[in-house]
Amino acid sequence: MRLILLAASLLLASCSASQESLHTDGAAVIYGDDSRTDISSEDLNLQKIASAVSVIIEKSKLKPAVDGMIPFTRTLGQSYPLCESEKFQNQPLLGFCTGVLIGKNKVLTAGHCMDQKNRCAESLFVFGFNASKAESKVIPLEEIYRCKQVLKLQNRRGHADYAVIELDREVNAEPVALASEKTYAVGEPLLSLSYPLGLPLKKDLGRVLRDTEGAMLKMEVDTFSGSSGSPLFNAKGALVGILSTGMDDILEDDIYRVQTEGGCIEFNRCKNGTCFGETYTKVHGIDL
């Protein structure tokens, strides 16, 4: 994304608030340069809200270990014939969607992440799964939460797209605060935290493209499949909305070209102002 990026930690410095399947509805595109970065130990102002952002994992992707669960994962580079210029190729792909903690045992995510039969029973939740934690190879049992039930679900194209999940127990993290604003100015910077393609947690500072008083918000921000349900935060660290849909990560023509001619794939990119943006469901349009 060709923005003059402030460090995400500076954006939130004023914070006073406390591959079995990839969902195409959450597909996205890179705007200009790929500005996604890892959450690091230096992001002190982000640690609190980052710990409330969950990767949603299919049970089949984990196997039991002595003190936890071991992911059945492939790296990004093993999963796609990507060009060397693409980022994070040595990192593992683990989840299929993203969620955010809105109550001690309640998670908000996109509706299309939970609308398949038995999806709740097949899903596990791990919070704050960053690149450092991914290096440990084992996820401790106490960090893995199960879906107890889907409390609310709506997934209608063009309308609010959300699901509220009750977990099997309370999470050892602080739920995020909800933004009070109903509209946002064009160009306003908002922070995305997500698990793009199931990668460890990433941050990206985006900007508002279009907003109305309705339930939806258009953003220019670098998210991908796997980012569905991911939270968007304002400068106070309050939850603005969650990702519903976007543009394709990889163009079908590129996949066909590599299959027939060889070579490598680059993720789809847009110059500023040439794409319609990523669609978020605003929290004020969700029945929480």
CATH code where residue 159 lies: 2.40.10.120
Q: Which residues pair with 80 in a beta bridge?
A: none
Is 83 contained in some domain?
yes
Indicate if the pLDDT at residue 15 is higher than 50: no
Max CA-CA distance within the chain?
54
Q: Considering the chain, what percentage of its residues have pLDDT values greater than 70?
A: 79
Indicate if the pLDDT at residue 14 is higher than 60: no
Q: Report which of residues 52 and 270 the model is more confident about.
A: 52
Please give the structure tokens belonging to residue 153: 């679900």
Is 51 contained in some domain?
yes
Q: Report which of residues 173 and 160 the model is more confident about.
A: 173
As a whole number, mean pLDDT of residues 116-136 equals 92
Is 1 contained in some domain?
no
Is 33 contained in some domain?
yes
Q: What is the count of structural domains for the chain?
A: 1
Domain of 108 in residue numbering reads as: 8-285
> What CA–CA distance (Å, rounded) separates 27 from 38?
20
Write the pLDDT tens digit of every residue in 202-254.
998 888 988 977 888 988 887 777 789 999 999 999 999 999 876 555 555 56
Is 87 contained in some domain?
yes
Is 3 contained in some domain?
no
> What CA–CA distance (Å, rounded) separates 23 from 21?
6
Indicate if the pLDDT at residue 6 is higher than 80: no
Q: Report which of residues 159 and 153 the model is more confident about.
A: 153
Least Cα distance to 275 among 9, 29, 99 occurs for 29
Q: In what order do the strands lie in the sheet with 139-140?
A: 62-64, 68-71, 139-140
Q: Which residues pair with 239 in a beta bridge?
A: 178, 233
The answer to whether 103 touches 288, Cβ cutoff 8 Å, is no
Return the pLDDT at 271: 62
Write the pLDDT tens digit of every residue in 166-197.
999 999 999 999 999 999 999 999 999 999 98
Indicate if the pLDDT at residue 114 is higher than 50: yes
Q: Report which of residues 266 and 169 the model is more confident about.
A: 169
CB under 8 A, 24+ apart: contacts of 84-88: 84/264, 85/266, 86/34, 86/266, 86/267, 87/34, 87/36, 88/36, 88/199
Return the pLDDT at 249: 55
Return the pLDDT at 137: 85
Indicate if the pLDDT at residue 42 is higher than 80: no
Q: Considering the chain, what percentage of its residues have pLDDT values greater than 90?
A: 47
Is 2 contained in some domain?
no
